[in-house]
Amino acid sequence: MAAMLQSLGVTSASVTSNKFTAFSINSLPVIRSESRTVSVAINGTRKAGKVTTKAVAAQAENPTSAASKPGHELLLFEALREGLEEEMDRDPRVCVFGEDVGHYGGSYKVTKGLADKYGDLRVLDTPIAENSFTGMAVGAAMTGLRPIVEGMNMGFLLLAFNQISDNCGMLHYTSGGQFTIPTVIRGPGGVGRQLGAEHSQRLESYFQSIPGIQMVACSTPYNAKGLMKAAIRSENPVVLFEHVLLYNLKERIPDEEYVLSLEEAEMVRPGEHVTILTYSRMRYHVMQAAKTLVNKGYDPEVIDIRSLKPFDLYTIGNSVKKTHRVLIVEECMRTGGIGASLTASINENFHDYLDAPIVCLSSQDVPTPYAGTLEEWTVVQPAQIVTAVEQLCKQ
Amino acid sequence: MAQLTHRTSSLLKPLSFATRHLSSTTPITIETSLPFTGHNIEPPSRSVETTPQELLKFFRDMALMRRMEIASDSLYKAKLIRGFCHLYDGQEAVAVGMEAAITRKDCIITAYRDHCLFLGRGGKLVEAFAELMGRKEGCSKGKGGSMHFYKKEGGFYGGHGIVGAQVPLGCGLAFAQKYSKDENVTFAMYGDGAANQGQLFEALNMAALWDLPAILVCENNHYGMGTAEWRAAKSPAYYKRGDYVPGLKVDGMDAFAVKQACKFAKEHALKNGPIILEMDTYRYHGHSMSDPGSTYRTRDEISGVRQERDPVERIRKLVLAHDLATEKELKDTEKELRKEVDDAIAKAKESPLPDPSELFTNIYVKGYGVESYGADRKELRAVLP
């Protein structure tokens, strides 16, 4: 694992475009995966398939070779759909449960067209019963199916908390390893455009203590597709956090098949002065602030942590050892959020390398208001990030 | 050798030489104690076909289960079993009758009163006792406990602590069976207390919508821990609660009624989708070992049921009536089973406690190499396997 992460650290992705809504990545890391043939049993039938056990990002041997294969441009929700479709083609046990995922095509069009292609049983339109259909997904997973549960909005999955915590997370342990629960629970969360308090929730903080699940957050079409595929192939239950406002991001992604690692962080912009850790939509606020900071003479290192449980302490640690200052920018609430856990983790492990206390910028501990200006103030804005970095570097 | 084909239970004149003339596969027809009551469905007939071999097997299985539960009672009082221990004695007929009607490819999922169902699905006594005592040889490696018995090869999916949460899982199992088209069914069991959970109705709606081969079995022992059914449910007719889903009320203390109902339900579910079975049964112990079981019901009631409806006694009387064994032979069988249980307990007691490293195994599936820290950050450290 160490060797793989080393190579990831070396790869650089530079952001060049002016608008942060659409940008292109110059050098693409080529993902090479270690695969071995594994027999896949579906209730009696045996089908040998190649299973990628470790999806690794290694540096592109020839940077220009990646550029010569232009790839194709698409939006984030299309990237998710592509990943989903490829996995459904590959493995007949993959199925989707969710409200309006079938005939309607998904409320954010992630599953559009899939019901026509795979049928109503594989892309199942459920009634509005989150608790039960998440439970059904767990039951189906116990027999070997690989269901993907879509919460129309992540906030609705709070109704299924018992199923996610006890049955998804703990069944592998309490059965002594007899059952694996390879489910993927995904959905859009985060603060949108004046959606109101109950539809702007960030569940990362509620789920992070559940033992037995993995959590990842995607932020670009490239990592959305890669993480979706990795989550489906993983034998562990994975919660994939998407963001309502990022679905229309456009990016050019490679044509070849690739799977990303669920436990690795992404180096967005290497730097020297300060490490900024972020994930999901805040990545874009950070990159916007980074432009201002570069103009002011600072050199921030931006890491998209991607893996919310467990943290990729290897990449983060290497960065801390280099810059000695950490700023965490997240959309979670202040109390008990991902930033709080990350602060504790870094303090415990890398305390000696820190020149200044860790600064954590999170959303305010309030229900998200409807009014536009108030909503803007609940989340971290680029100006606040710039101020925080300046203060951090003064110490 | 006289070939006897049909004997009904009304023939009670045993001939001393007749016992040796019944081959073990000669069919016997037995009438269930009570007729079935159907909701939106024609109930099956009261006559159940069985064989002497099956009758004796029922006796043996139920006596073993009874013995195991009573032994667990003593182990709990001796503080070898800790935490929660929910005993099934009185309800054995449901477990045994259901097993007789289905195959190991069919799935059973239940709540926390799972020891006997585990045995019925092929679990070993040693595994059960070791798990109860938290030893390494337990069926869940000592990490699950009384409420988390599972047996994947036997089609037994647990073993769940949260009331009612297993029913959506059961519908998920049925969904997977429909998905793979393998002509098997799932029995999702729950109690009269869980019958008031919302997720049950959500799951039932989905099962009926998609014609899933799910059979919901309500083991109605009339008490949801300390609350009698009439104090918790406006309509204690649990078999009618499905509304558009047909239901059947079964005498759960009669193993043959259970067998007939389960067979009928399996045929129905494979063709028409879900069905609810309500098993009218009774538990002698309290809800769990921490509950004396006498504050909300009278001792007379308990002893009354034990005298009139005890499932093991019923089978004993049938065995004796059909001359399949003498009183003494049955007593010897019970002694043998008692010894079997005691041996299993002794063996389980010798089994070691799990390794400290087992704390971190099976949290994630292999291939995930992250370090984890224990409560003491400096010392207890392991790489999650």
Q: How far apart are CA A85 and CA A91, in angstroms?
A: 10
Q: How far apart are CA A289 and CA A282, in angstroms?
A: 10
Best A165, A167, A175, A185 residue to mutate vs chain B (most B CBs within 10 Å): A175
Contact B209 A127 (CB under 8 A): yes
Active site residues of A: 130, 199
Position B367 scores a pLDDT of 54
Q: Does the pLDDT at position B6 exceed 70? A: no
Q: How far apart are CA B384 and CA B360, in angstroms?
A: 6
Nearest residue of A to residue B184, measured between CA atoms = A43
Position A24 scores a pLDDT of 38
**Residue listed under structure tokens 């229309």:** A248
Q: How far apart are CA B371 and CA A197, in angstroms?
A: 37
Of the given ranges (A52-61, A64-73, A179-188, B78-87), which has the lowest mean pLDDT?
A52-61
pLDDT tens digits along A242-281 = 999 999 999 999 999 999 989 889 999 999 999 999 999 9
Q: Does the pLDDT at position B15 exceed 50? A: no
Position A55 scores a pLDDT of 38
Q: Which residues pair with A36 in a beta bridge?
A: A51
Closest approach of chain A CAs to the CA of B314, in angstroms? 35
Residue B187 DSSP SS3: strand
What is the rounded average pLDDT of the residues B17-36? 75
Q: Does the pLDDT at position B155 exceed 90? A: yes
Please list, in sequence order, all residues whose beta carbon lies within 8 angstroms of the beta carbon of residue B342, skipping any fewer than 6 positions away: B71
Q: Does the pLDDT at position B375 exceed 70? A: no
| pLDDT tier at B374, thresholds 50, 70, 90 | very low
**Residue listed under structure tokens 């519908």:** B171
Q: Does the pLDDT at position A39 exceed 70? A: no
pLDDT tens digits along A223-238 = 999 999 999 999 999 9
| pLDDT tier at B360, thresholds 50, 70, 90 | confident
Percent of chain B at pLDDT exceeding 90: 79
Contact A236 B148 (CB under 8 A): no
Q: Does the pLDDT at position A375 exceed 50? A: yes
pLDDT tens digits along A117-139 = 999 999 999 999 999 999 999 99
Contact A136 B140 (CB under 8 A): no
Position A218 scores a pLDDT of 95
pLDDT tens digits along B222-272 = 999 889 999 999 999 999 998 999 999 999 999 999 999 999 999 999 999
Q: Does the pLDDT at position B379 exceed 90? A: no
Closest approach of chain A CAs to the CA of B199, in angstroms? 6
Contact B143 A126 (CB under 8 A): no
Residues B77/B285, Cβ–Cβ less than 8 Å: no
Q: Got the DSSP string for A327-341? A: EEEEEEESTT-HHHH
Contact A43 B139 (CB under 8 A): no
Q: Does the pLDDT at position A196 exceed 80? A: yes
> Cα-flanking dihedrals φ and ψ of residue B228, to 5°?
-70, 155
| pLDDT tier at A206, thresholds 50, 70, 90 | very high
Contact residues on chain B for A126, CB-CB shorter than 8 A: 206
Best B202, B212, B358 residue to mutate vs chain A (most A CBs within 10 Å): B202
Q: How far apart are CA B232 and CA B244, in angstroms?
A: 23
Question: Out of B144, B175, B205, whose CB is closest to A176?
Answer: B144
Nearest residue of B to residue A349, measured between CA atoms = B377
**Residue listed under structure tokens 């997904």:** A137
| pLDDT tier at B9, thresholds 50, 70, 90 | very low
Residues 39-98 on A with a CB inside 8 Å of B are 42-44, 53-54, 95
Beta pairing class for A250-253 and A72-75:
antiparallel
Position B10 scores a pLDDT of 41
Q: How far apart are CA B100 and CA A318, in angstroms?
A: 62
What is the rounded average pLDDT of the residues A135-147? 95
Contact B206 A134 (CB under 8 A): no
Position B184 scores a pLDDT of 95
Cα atoms in the 13 Å half-sphere on the side-chain side of A243: 26
Nearest to A246 by CA among A304, A296, A292, A302: A304
Position B64 scores a pLDDT of 96
Residues B279/B218, Cβ–Cβ less than 8 Å: yes
Please list, in sequence order, all residues whose beta carbon lies within 8 angstroms of the beta carbon of residue A96, skipping any fewer than 6 positions away: A84, A88, A111, A114, A122, A123, A124, A147, A148, A150
Position A394 scores a pLDDT of 87
Selected residue with higher pLDDT from A326 and A26: A326
Q: Does the pLDDT at position A2 exceed 90? A: no
Question: Out of A44, A135, A172, whose CB is closest to B165?
Answer: A135
The pLDDT mean for chain B works out to: 88
Q: Does the pLDDT at position B193 exceed 70? A: yes
Q: How far apart are CA A383 and CA A21, in angstroms?
A: 18
Residues A98/A127, Cβ–Cβ less than 8 Å: no
| pLDDT tier at B22, thresholds 50, 70, 90 | low
Q: Does the pLDDT at position B368 exceed 70? A: no
Any CB–CB contact under 8 A between A263 and chain B?
A: yes
Percent of chain A at pLDDT exceeding 90: 76
Position A69 scores a pLDDT of 59
Position A43 scores a pLDDT of 37
Question: Out of B144, B165, B361, whose CB is closest to A175?
Answer: B144
Q: How far apart are CA B184 and CA B104, in angstroms?
A: 10
> Cα-flanking dihedrals φ and ψ of residue B107, to 5°?
-105, 145
What is the rounded average pLDDT of the residues B119-144? 94
Q: Does the pLDDT at position A34 exceed 50? A: no
Q: How far apart are CA B253 and CA A18, in angstroms?
A: 76
Position B26 scores a pLDDT of 86
Q: Does the pLDDT at position A64 exceed 90? A: no
pLDDT tens digits along A302-351 = 999 999 988 999 999 999 999 999 999 999 999 999 999 999 999 999 99
| pLDDT tier at A36, thresholds 50, 70, 90 | very low
Nearest residue of A to residue B367, measured between CA atoms = A53
Closest approach of chain A CAs to the CA of B379, in angstroms? 14
Q: Does the pLDDT at position B123 exceed 90? A: yes
